[in-house]
Structure 1
Amino acid sequence: MKAAVLKAFGSPLAIEEVPDPVIGTGEAIVDVAAAPVLPYTDEVLSGARRYLLPPPVIPGCGAIGRVSVVGPDATKLKVGDWVFCDPTVRSRDDAAMPDIVLQGWSARGDGGQRLQQYHRHGAFAERVRVPTENAIRIGAIAEAEAGHWCALNTLLVPYGGLLAANLRAGETLLVSGATGHFGSAAVAVGLAMGAACIVAPGRNEAALVDLVRRFGARIRPVTLTGDEATDRARMVAAAPGPIDCVLDILPPSADATVVRASVMSVRPYGQVVLMGGVGMLGGDDLALPYPWIMRNDVTMRGKWMYPPDAVGRMAGLVRAGLLRLDAYAVTAFPLDEASAAVAHAAAHGGPFRLTVLRPDGTARSPSLPA
């Protein structure tokens, strides 16, 4: 099969013929219809993100495709099923504390690296092998829709955080990082889950205006000034009442003061979920006052990715019309142009934009109207 191979960090992706994946028990092989190219893929492949992804490797974080082979222990998955290839692979020998690897992307800890030795190659290829439970059925779709269904890869991340926060219909949510690729997805998901209002802080005023255009008066934009006290006061004032939940999903380049201003806008007894990358690449870590957390009875938790059942639940939100995948403008590249796709994703990674690889050779696909 044809695949895009990372030979060394910082080198262009090499398009090569590689052996087809061989199935084992508890696995499926999927023909890749579309694979998302995340906006920071260039940072991963250059080594700037310091992800544990030892080359040579076929990168790629998730895919939409059709099952071509199933293992002998599959009871519902069938050849021909349309599936989301969930890159979040969990070890099976400790249900309480599974090691996790993002297939074709990153690993954490010694256990994750051991898991990665087997579940190594990602979806920048014509076919990908995944654990059976990671080939998650999404129902029938048209071939041309595969690129838009790659939006699940982005939407699922904040969905995992909002599920962890137990966000309830009618609550007020603040999304820290609302103008970014994942933050704008958090806005869409929060509204689909029934948030009455979303406070959306950011420095990109055009992106804030666009969020209001897309979603209306339920969005309360806040232009950040860079002064922590001022920004926190603006966030609190923008909300129609107490802020029930804060989701931070800012990237590693963000300043910790921005995150702290958002977090400390939450009401007493509120929920805070941290999903971003502050401190990941050095710089100041997030420092929060112990007395403030304790006396206000604030619940704080970290969350990496999403629970296994989230994919089916999110597909249900899409099928119900609560989440519109056609809000995303999709640009598709053939596999032979993988390096060009990576560059395009880096340059066009704003809200509601997707770059995808189409191993079937489909050239740049027309975008549906936003």
Structure 2
Amino acid sequence: MRAARCESHGKPDAIVIRELPGPVAGTGEVVVGIEAASVNYPDVLIAADRYQLSVPTPFTAGSEFAGRVLSVGPEVVDLSPGDAVMGTSLSGAFAERITVSRSALSPVPAGLDMVHAAAFNVTYRTAYHALTTFGGVASGDWVVILGAAGGVGSAAIDIATRLGGKVIAAVSTPERAEACRSLGAVETIAYDGEDLKQRIKEITGVGADVVIDPVGGSYSEQALRAIAWGGRFVSVGFAQGDIPRIPLNLVLLKGAIVRGFEIRTLASHLPDAVEKGRREIERLVAQGMRPFVSEVYALDEAPLAMTRVAERRTTGKVVIDLSAH
């Protein structure tokens, strides 16, 4: 099988396409024929050995995929060859086949093709739980989304709007702001040229009810300073690279709730919330919710796709189509 291999940690352009032996399912495992895989910013960090978890080289890049079951190992009784599934793994997704634990897979929701299924799982589950489980978004809330043109950001715009939130999309450029308006944002802020705190206050009058922050860096404190009394600030990542140091006096004076989570460990802490979220997300998909896929590449172009994400030159989701040669 063909796979995009990271043979030494570094930039995405060092990744090469190699022929590898096909995988075999062990006990409790499933072999999936990958039809599409999406590029997430953590894939770039893992390749550079800058992620929370280090993956020793050589390894196959990629963490999110969709495809069909090819074979199952002993003790897997609820999946059969041909079943459409989507899943996640710390690595291994940018390949024609992958072996994963049964627990890493879930059915592809009805109505999603493989490209959209590959772009769906991580970002939409992250956005949903950031907004609801941790952010408590209610209809009519002002919701500020930092990095709103990215994968998690664009999913958060979609979900928050469907839940009745009034979304303010904070992005780096006017071009990205326009893309966010097309996704449902009622207001936008290009924070590289505008004062984020001041603009949030101007738009909302009293401040943001909820802030979703996958960016970190200098924008986090500015957004927190613009939050309404009793507002909720949810940290889901640090795409800017810097982990902010939040002055706790702001939390005290604002009566704010600051929470954080990562989707990778959510099921072990809040299994009931995960199941509730799955049902609600499937309901929204049935109503027409789809991820915004802006760019699709072939497997040979995986280094380019990762570079585009690394340089933050994309909007929405970037997908590698394994059926394209």
When the two structures are superposed, what TM-score results if normalisation uses the length of structure 2? 0.83
Asked if 1:6 corresponds to 2:22, the answer is no
Q: What residue is the counterpart of 2:187 in the other structure?
A: 220
Could you tell me which runs of 5 or more consecutive residues in structure 2 were left unpaired when the two chains were aligned. 268-273
Superposed CA deviations along residues 303-325 of structure 1, whole A, max 9, x for unmatched, are 1126443456434322221x233
SS of 2:95's equivalent in the other structure is coil
Q: What residue is the counterpart of 1:197 in the other structure?
A: 166
Pick aligned residue for 1:351 from 299, 304, 315? 315
Question: How far is 1:354 from its partner?
Answer: 1.9
Structure 2 CA distance for aligned equivalents of residues 38 and 272 of structure 1? 23
1:191-270 maps to which residues of 2 (within 5 A)?
Answer: 191-192=161-162, 194-215=163-184, 219-224=186-191, 230-239=195-204, 242-250=207-215, 255-256=217-218, 258-270=219-231
Structure-2 change in CA distance of 1:312 and 1:75 (3 Å): farther
Contact kept in structure 2, 1:66 and 1:80, CA below 8 Å? yes
1:131-142 maps to which residues of 2 (within 5 A)?
Answer: 131-139=101-109
Structure-2 change in CA distance of 1:354 and 1:225 (3 Å): closer
Contact kept in structure 2, 1:36 and 1:355, CA below 8 Å? yes
Aligned-CA RMSD value: 2.9
Indicate the percent of aligned positions where both proteins have the same amino acid. Answer: 23
Question: How far is 1:260 from its partner?
Answer: 0.5
What amino acid sits opposite 1:167 in the alignment?
A: V
Structure 1 CA distance for aligned equivalents of residues 99 and 278 of structure 2? 18
Structure 1 CA distance for aligned equivalents of residues 312 and 283 of structure 2? 28
1:232-311 maps to which residues of 2 (within 5 A)?
Answer: 232-239=197-204, 242-250=207-215, 255-256=217-218, 258-277=219-238, 281=241, 285-305=243-263, 307-308=266-267, 309=274, 310=277
Structure 2 CA distance for aligned equivalents of residues 36 and 2 of structure 1? 16
Superposed CA deviations along residues 99-125 of structure 1, whole A, max 9, x for unmatched, are xxxx11xxxxxxxxxxxxxxxxx1111
What amino acid sits opposite 2:116 in the alignment?
A: H
Structure 2 CA distance for aligned equivalents of residues 289 and 338 of structure 1? 40
Structure 2 CA distance for aligned equivalents of residues 237 and 195 of structure 1? 21
Asked if 1:324 corresponds to 2:290, the answer is yes
Question: How far is 1:22 from its partner?
Answer: 2.5
Question: How far is 1:241 from its partner?
Answer: 5.3
What amino acid sits opposite 1:273 in the alignment?
A: V
Q: What residue is the counterpart of 1:26 in the other structure?
A: 28
SS of 1:182's equivalent in the other structure is helix
SS of 1:128's equivalent in the other structure is strand
1:71-150 maps to which residues of 2 (within 5 A)?
Answer: 71-87=73-89, 103-104=90-91, 122-139=92-109, 145-150=113-118
Question: How far is 1:48 from its partner?
Answer: 5.9
Aligned residue pair count: 312
Structure 2 CA distance for aligned equivalents of residues 348 and 331 of structure 1? 16
Contact kept in structure 2, 1:181 and 1:350, CA below 8 Å? no
Structure-2 change in CA distance of 1:264 and 1:332 (3 Å): same
SS of 2:14's equivalent in the other structure is coil
Pick aligned residue for 1:151 from 119, 125, 136? 119
Question: How far is 1:66 from its partner?
Answer: 0.8
Superposed CA deviations along residues 123-142 of structure 1, whole A, max 9, x for unmatched, are 11111111112110124568
Question: How far is 1:196 from its partner?
Answer: 2.7
> Mean Cα displacement is larger for which, 38-47 or 240-249?
38-47
Q: What residue is the counterpart of 1:367 in the other structure?
A: none
Q: What residue is the counterpart of 2:271 in the other structure?
A: none
Question: How far is 1:198 from its partner?
Answer: 1.0
Q: What residue is the counterpart of 2:157 in the other structure?
A: 187
What amino acid sits opposite 1:211 in the alignment?
A: C
Contact kept in structure 1, 2:29 and 2:100, CA below 8 Å? yes
SS of 2:230's equivalent in the other structure is strand
Asked if 1:167 corresponds to 2:137, the answer is yes
Question: How far is 1:246 from its partner?
Answer: 0.9
